[in-house]
Amino acid sequence: MGIGGVGVGALAPLLRAVGAEVDGCDCQESAAVERLRGNGFPVALGHDAAHGAHCDVLVHTAAVPGDHPEITAARARGALVLTRGQCLVRLMEGARTIAVAGSHGKTTTTWFIGHLLTEAGLDPVVMVGGAVGALGGGGARAGNGALFVAETDESDGSFADVDPEIAIVTNLDHEHLRHYGSFAALETAFNDWLKRIPAHGAAIVPADGLSERVLAGLRCRVIRCGLDAGDWRLDQLVLGADGSRARVVAGGQAVADIGVPLPGAHMAMNALMACAAVSLACPGTPLEPLARCERVRRRFTVHGTPGGVRVVEDYGHHPAEVRATIAAARLGTGRVHVVFEPHRFTRTADCFDGFVRAFDQVHTLALLPVYAAHEIAIPGADSETLARAIAARRTDAGTVHACADAAAAVATVAAAAQPGDTVLVLGAGGVGKLAPALVECLAAGAPA
């Protein structure tokens, strides 16, 4: 159920690889549904309790409640019902697992690892929470090697049953606290998870930013990574508009000179952690192929430069992600303009103050209505209120716009953009479809 989603859809080829016959359903047609059908996976539209009548196992996205009629009917027939995370844990059994968790940067870090191991001929199984062209437009690689590289999900606690040999915690932020109840509880959940790593394994963590609550009582090695300091660090880091280059240093010794194929200091940190994981799992694996790593879709995806204006799409939807992506965009020339679609009323409410400060380095901001994701509206957690709060911080309040629809947002930033500028299309919902529309609009109105 929800097979058109990135996480559940990526399970399909992995399940087929272990001998399962797989079909599914989703609420709507999409490029992902078309791709799955093209690869021989039947996909029905909509939900029906009769869908799973022939199934031994029903796997569902966490977005589907446990009392959904389709799930209830499957249980009544005696089928095994698993969440996406529970299914992933079963697929990992018997493999050497490199697991990536954390508030931000999981998808890119996971794919960096998968790319490096694949380039080295190690044929890993890879499970990424995003679409990658090199993976046939999906998020999975059904390799036959001993290594299983997986992005794990802490948002609903499903990562807790993963037993990694090597685990990466990219960072921890005030995210998904409605599930955990408090930041301290989130930290405790990560500590419990890291305690599952065997003594011969390793936990790879930021050199700073994690409290002792996360790292207390581990039996494995703890490898700290940082841009300036740590067991693994980057030397001679040069940040550029299209990516970075640096020297990887481990234990005071130079390991390799690498190119990072995405811009921003946050992406350089993701790359460093990936290099550490690969080197610990398979010593001697070349790291230089990182420079050739394809970008995950919606991770600083450049759609074009019509009229000299760079149009970039990114999945960033938390204040920390928004700030990091804007900083990366500012490595180019010119000003930065943003179309942002807040994702969920709960996140907008919980992170309101962070969002108010996140756009300080933006020239023009076009805010779309909140992408509800089936949530009920929360008073004060709407785009109009957010726009007023952001405008109150600025001396140029007229550059902040609460736009009623996509057409208004496209027109707003297209009118402000000049050659050399960057337009960012940010958000985790459906806002990505505006990037091609912006390219078309800018091309039509581009100066000679």
Q: Write the pLDDT tens digit of every residue in 168-181.
A: 999 999 888 888 99
Is the domain spanning 94-292 CATH 3.40.1190.10? The answer is yes
Q: Which two tokens stand for residue 162?
A: 């993963």
CA angle 201, 106, 292 (to 5 degrees): 95
Q: Show Cβ contacts of residue 196 under 8 Å, excluding neighbours closer than 6 positions.
A: 162, 163, 164
Summarize the confidence of residues 263-285 as an average pLDDT.
97
Answer CATH for 301-445 from 3.40.50.150, 3.20.10.10, 3.40.50.12160, 3.90.190.20: 3.90.190.20
First to last CA, the chain: 50
- Cα distances (angstroms) measured from residue 1 to each of 9, 89, 254: 9, 18, 47
**If pLDDT is split at 50, 70 and 90, which confidence band does 447 have?**
very low
At 299 the pLDDT is 95
More confident residue, 252 or 49: 252
**If pLDDT is split at 50, 70 and 90, which confidence band does 31 have?**
confident
Give the start-to-end residue ranges of the domains of the chain.
Answer: 6-83, 94-292, 301-445
What is the helix (H) or strand (E) element at residue 352, kind and residue range?
helix 352-358
**CATH number assigned to the domain covering 6-83:** 3.40.50.720
Q: Using an 8 Å Cβ cutoff, are 86 and 135 in contact?
A: no
Q: Kindly report, residue by residue over 278-332, the tens digit of the pLDDT.
A: 999 999 999 999 999 999 999 999 999 999 999 999 999 999 999 999 999 999 9
On the question of pLDDT at 92 being above 60, the answer is yes
Q: Using an 8 Å Cβ cutoff, are 274 and 149 in contact?
A: no
Per-residue burial over 352-372, b if 16 or more Cβ lie within 10 Å, else e, is bebbbebbeebbbbbbbbbbe
Q: Which two tokens stand for residue 199?
A: 């003594």
